[in-house]
Amino acid sequence: MFDVQKVRADFPILSREVNGKPLVYLDNGASAQKPQVVIDAVTKGYAEEYANVHRGLHYLSNLATDKYEAVRGTIGRFLNAPEDNIIFNSGTTEGINMVAYGWAAPRLQAGDEIVLSIMEHHANIVPWHFLRERQGVVIKWVDVDANGDLDPQAVIDAIGPKTKLVAVTHMSNVLGTVVDVKAICAGAHAKGVPVLIDGSQSAVHMPVDLSDIDCDFYAITGHKLYGPSGSGAIYVSPERMSEIQPFMGGGDMIRDVRRDGVDYNDAPMRFEAGTPGIVQTIGLGVALDYMMAIGMENIAAHENALRDYARDRLDGLSWLSVQGRSATKGAIFSFTIDGAAHAHDISTVLDKKGVAVRAGTHCAMPLMESMGVGATCRASFGVYNTTDEVDVLIDALELCHDLFG
């Protein structure tokens, strides 16, 4: 039985006050809070079990290496993917850049195309702009409809003879839209085109089964998954793993270095140069175990109920506009108050009431431009949020309306 109060008790920060009010943390889309088990794992990692990994023959190095390497299996279970296809990194931004530099840059010629949706995060846009600027690669954009839904067939139809990659988000960080990435993968693969999926938001809120989705690349980021910042991973399919070139060179990713050449390590270590985020990665493993113990189905059910409650309450505010009306969206709400102050002013008033939201363009400027909005406030929910907190948000928004409306 999912018990949100029991979950809340696991997160020490949730019992603090902000501006004299109980904290209502609704900025999970930016980064999530950490349960005590993760905080303990990080503390223990540094206080009792710290050494560099893969390099020593001494006790602590072996201990840290075993704990660090075990996380590959944890991520594999979390995503239902083989652990040998999991590459550790510092988060989604690094994962997508690795694909851009190590897989796409050596393969794509001027005029080759990459298909993106308009609702990508900048992390899944800017690396492709690098290829556009440096190599003449063409970015093809696929729009979302008025509800914020992305038609998988529109993505598949955008694939032409020069398309070399499709790169789409699994869940929009602005609209909450969940994309049918399985259909996109099937359609793209039928045309011989690989698919990269940005799983930064989706993996936090719903079960992800990569054996079912059948993508080529799937990026996740630890700090949104209730784990430490600076942790993350990317799944790379066996076929792409054999094609991708190392993006960074240094220690750990080599087997032999001579004056006249280098032999690289096997994958996935070939793609993990230098001293990694050792304790961060160990903490990520603990966070994923924590989520799996709650159950991803239970997390999704709780958050879908929160979404429905929040949607009803926000829809009751006639002077507020919610961007993104997809029926199957996650519990992420971007909104503006009609005729009122800037999103930054709204978020400042909410903050005075202890409510933390994000305001701005959410690292998704092409989407904001296509929606014709300069900036929005975003309330994004997580496993520990409650309907009572939705009510606090609504009361604070009523206050904003009184002040600015």
Ligand X SMILES: Cc1ncc(COP(=O)(O)O)c(C=O)c1O
- In the complex, which residues of this chain contact ligand X (CB under 6 A)? 91-93, 121, 123-124, 169, 173, 198, 200-201, 221, 223, 363
Between CA 1 and CA 10 the distance in angstroms is 16
Query: Shortest gap between Cβ of 117 and ligand X (angstroms)?
Result: 11
- In the complex with ligand X, the residue whose CB is nearer, 74 or 221, is 221
- In the complex with ligand X, the residue whose CB is nearer, 92 or 281, is 92
Between CA 192 and CA 189 the distance in angstroms is 5
- In the complex with ligand X, the residue whose CB is nearer, 197 or 392, is 197
Q: Closest by alpha carbon to 334, among 351, 346, 348, 316?
A: 346
- The answer to whether residue 363 is catalytic is yes
Query: Shortest gap between Cβ of 172 and ligand X (angstroms)?
Result: 7
Query: Shortest gap between Cβ of 201 and ligand X (angstroms)?
Result: 5
- In the complex with ligand X, the residue whose CB is nearer, 310 or 363, is 363
Omega before residue 22 within 30° of 0, cis: no
Candidates 215, 363, 377, 400; catalytic one: 363
- In the complex with ligand X, the residue whose CB is nearer, 334 or 337, is 334
Query: Shortest gap between Cβ of 174 and ligand X (angstroms)?
Result: 9
405: which 2 tokens?
């409306």
For 286-337, give the secondary structure using H, E and C.
HHHHHHHHHCHHHHHHHHHHHHHHHHHHHHCCCCEEEECCCCCCCCEEEEEE
- In the complex with ligand X, the residue whose CB is nearer, 64 or 279, is 279
- In the complex with ligand X, the residue whose CB is nearer, 121 or 205, is 121
Query: Shortest gap between Cβ of 265 and ligand X (angstroms)?
Result: 24
Count of C-beta atoms within a 10 Å radius of residue 72: 20
Query: Shortest gap between Cβ of 21 and ligand X (angstroms)?
Result: 26
Between CA 222 and CA 92 the distance in angstroms is 9
Between CA 41 and CA 222 the distance in angstroms is 14
Query: Shortest gap between Cβ of 203 and ligand X (angstroms)?
Result: 10
> What are the beta bridge partners of residue 198?
169, 219
φ/ψ (deg, to 5) at 175: -100, -20
Active site residues: 363
